[in-house]
């Protein structure tokens, strides 16, 4: 199911002609180091686990719904290491309610990320059945994927990064995967019923329950840098997950990508999706959070335009409500069933609200310009990015030229390009 829109040209003040500044290609600089040989890192990490006997044991490895750099190769390396120890590994989707909260839908999400038996070397076993594990002191019921629970061991693999809705010692990472990813739809509902404003306390408590009631072998923590590269892949013994993740989250925040600007009038985002960020538009980049909780530091942005959804998001447009305008191309790819299931489960209804839908790029820009607050100069500050994850090379309007020259972390890498529009009124730079 998808949506259909009959867009109407709104009556806007001023001329229909768009007088836009030229755009400059700019490279942003972030802290940079890379993980190197990921297979070697995984192998070394498994060697450090000691002489645990895994022969003949069924080991579940988690795989989530995010588009994590090199995830397939990391999972393949984990499978290789487990097979070398004569274990019987398999992959379980660990993504809460994503994929429409169905076993088939979650398997399809993994397939869209290149995670299948042929690529990984282990079967994908997808189920929404869960086993109750107990209750935290807060009254939170904790669940675990039945297939993972019945296995002889679990390897919990996930990216560690800043969450898009709340702040705490544990945000997105192995701990969240233990509670919400492996908790499937039921576990996700139970956790989100407490609200994101309590996640900083319920996540670690629930993770302790999972660790005490299941046979977790280890975690695999992944950090990406601001260049969308693997910065670190670390195998974490089960007994060290709670301590080590706090340290790794600090490291992840230090190297993450962001917009190195002081303010933005219009942010144009070419694509958004769940493979990019849990909120589609990463709140750590835009500063806009669906719950309005503190801790999201970003340049103030007056208007956000979203042009499209990624193919891998499979119509899940969670986060679209944080934008001000979307093109028809973007809006008509929204799958309401998948998007609303995700939003209702997570209690983030704002994220699923559809912004003003423009017929095309030209109309979206006209509307964005017409709604800028008073005091903005005739040549506004415009930024164009591919998505909120790939932030090394971005486009800045010429109105930023002086700011670029004064900022050592910004480098002009080409000539200014004029903004024009094709026959379908899609934006082009010439």
Q: What is the set of domains in the chain, with CATH numbers?
A: 23-30+258-429 (no CATH), 38-255 (3.40.50.11440)
Residue 152, SS3 per DSSP:
coil
pLDDT at 185: 94
Average pLDDT of the segment spanning 359-384: 88
Among candidate residues 332, 347, 160, the one with its CA nearest the CA of residue 247: 160
**Band (375; pLDDT cuts 50, 70, 90):** low
Residues 296, 173: Cα–Cα separation, whole Å: 18
Q: What is the sign, positive or negative, of the torsion defined by CA atoms of 196, 200, 206, 210?
A: positive
Q: Is the pLDDT of residue 410 over 90?
A: yes
Among candidate residues 98, 64, 112, the one with its CA nearest the CA of residue 311: 112
Q: What percent of the chain has pLDDT over 90?
A: 84
Q: What percent of the chain has pLDDT over 70?
A: 98
Q: Is the pLDDT of residue 284 over 70?
A: yes
Q: Is the pLDDT of residue 138 over 70?
A: yes
Please state the φ and ψ torsions of residue 385, each to the nearest 5 degrees. -130, 155
Contact call for residues 240 and 127 (beta carbons, < 8 A): no
Q: Is the pLDDT of residue 17 over 80?
A: no
Exposed, middle or buried, 292 (CB in 10 Å: 0-12/13-18/19+)? exposed
Residues 6 or more apart whose Cβ sits within 8 Å of residue 172: 158, 159, 160, 161, 162, 163, 164, 278
pTM of the model: 0.89
Q: Is the pLDDT of residue 359 over 60?
A: yes
Q: Is the pLDDT of residue 16 over 80?
A: no
Q: Is the pLDDT of residue 28 over 70?
A: yes
Q: Is the pLDDT of residue 377 over 60?
A: no
pLDDT at 99: 86
Residues 274, 276: Cα–Cα separation, whole Å: 5
Residues 331, 333: Cα–Cα separation, whole Å: 5
Q: Is the pLDDT of residue 148 over 80?
A: yes
**Band (303; pLDDT cuts 50, 70, 90):** very high
Contact call for residues 342 and 318 (beta carbons, < 8 A): yes
Give alpha helix (H) positions in 85-195: 103-112, 117-120, 146-150, 174-176, 184-192
Average pLDDT of the segment spanning 350-379: 89
Residue 247, SS3 per DSSP:
helix
- Residues 183-233 have pLDDT tens digits of 999 999 999 999 999 999 999 999 999 999 999 999 999 999 999 999 999
Burial 246-260 (b: 16+ CB within 10 A, else e): eebbebbbebbbbbb
Residues 112, 376: Cα–Cα separation, whole Å: 42
Burial 316-342 (b: 16+ CB within 10 A, else e): bbbbbbbbbbbbbbbbebbbeebbbbb
Residues 410, 398: Cα–Cα separation, whole Å: 13
SS3 percent helix, strand, coil of the chain, rounded to 5, is 35, 20, 45
Average pLDDT of the segment spanning 238-261: 97
Average pLDDT of the segment spanning 376-402: 92
Q: Is the pLDDT of residue 422 over 80?
A: yes
pLDDT at 8: 67
Strand-by-strand arrangement of the 230-237 sheet: 88-93, 58-63, 153-159, 216-224, 230-237
- Residues 46-92 have pLDDT tens digits of 998 887 889 999 999 999 988 888 999 999 999 999 999 999 999 99
Residues 6 or more apart whose Cβ sits within 8 Å of residue 196: 165, 166, 291, 293, 347, 348
Q: Is the pLDDT of residue 265 over 80?
A: yes
Average pLDDT, the chain: 94
**Band (331; pLDDT cuts 50, 70, 90):** very high
Please state the φ and ψ torsions of residue 3, each to the nearest 5 degrees. -100, 150
Average pLDDT of the segment spanning 348-373: 94
pLDDT at 1: 63
């Amino acid at each position: 199911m998808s949506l259909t829109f009959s867009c109407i040209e709104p009556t806007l003040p001023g001329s229909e002609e768009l007088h836009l500044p030229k755009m400059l290609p700019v490279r942003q600089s972030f802290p940079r180091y890379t993980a190197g040989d990921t297979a070697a890192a995984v192998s070394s990490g498994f060697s450090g686990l000691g002489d645990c006997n895994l022969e003949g044991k069924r080991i579940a490895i988690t795989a989530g719904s995010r588009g994590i750099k090199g995830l397939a190769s990391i999972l393949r390396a984990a499978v290789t290491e487990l097979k070398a120890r004569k274990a019987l590994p398999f992959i379980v989707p660990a993504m809460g309610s994503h994929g429409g909260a169905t076993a088939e839908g979650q398997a399809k999400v993994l397939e869209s990320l290149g995670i299948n038996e042929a690529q990984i070397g282990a079967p994908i076993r997808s189920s929404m059945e869960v086993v109750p594990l107990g209750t935290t002191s807060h009254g939170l019921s904790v669940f675990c994927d039945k297939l993972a629970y019945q296995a002889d061991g679990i390897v919990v693999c996930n990216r560690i990064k800043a969450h898009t809705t709340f702040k705490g010692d544990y945000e997105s990472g192995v701990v969240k995967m233990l509670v919400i990813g492996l908790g499937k739809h039921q576990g996700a509902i139970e956790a989100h019923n407490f609200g994101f404003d309590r996640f900083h306390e319920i996540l670690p408590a629930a993770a302790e329950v999972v660790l005490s009631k299941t046979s977790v072998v280890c975690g695999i923590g992944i950090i990406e840098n601001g260049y969308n590269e693997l910065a670190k892949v670390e195998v974490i013994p089960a007994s060290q997950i709670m301590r080590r993740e706090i340290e790794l989250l600090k490291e992840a925040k230090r190297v993450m990508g962001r917009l190195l600007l002081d303010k933005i009038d219009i942010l144009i985002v070419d694509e958004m999706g769940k493979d990019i960020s849990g909120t589609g538009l990463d709140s750590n980049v835009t500063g806009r959070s669906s719950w309005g909780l503190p801790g999201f530091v970003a340049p103030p942005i007056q208007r956000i335009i979203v042009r499209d959804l990624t193919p891998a998001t499979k119509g899940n447009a969670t986060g679209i409500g944080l934008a001000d305008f979307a093109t028809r191309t973007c809006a008509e790819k929204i799958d309401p069933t998948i998007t609303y299931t995700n939003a209702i489960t997570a209690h983030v209804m704002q994220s699923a609200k559809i912004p003003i839908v423009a017929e095309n790029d030209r109309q979206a820009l006209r509307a964005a310009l017409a709604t800028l607050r008073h005091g903005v100069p005739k040549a506004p500050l415009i930024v164009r990015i591919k998505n909120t994850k790939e932030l090394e090379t971005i486009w800045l309007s010429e109105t930023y030229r002086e700011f670029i020259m004064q900022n050592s972390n910004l480098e002009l890498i080409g000539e200014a390009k004029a903004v024009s529009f094709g026959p379908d009124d899609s934006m082009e730079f010439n």
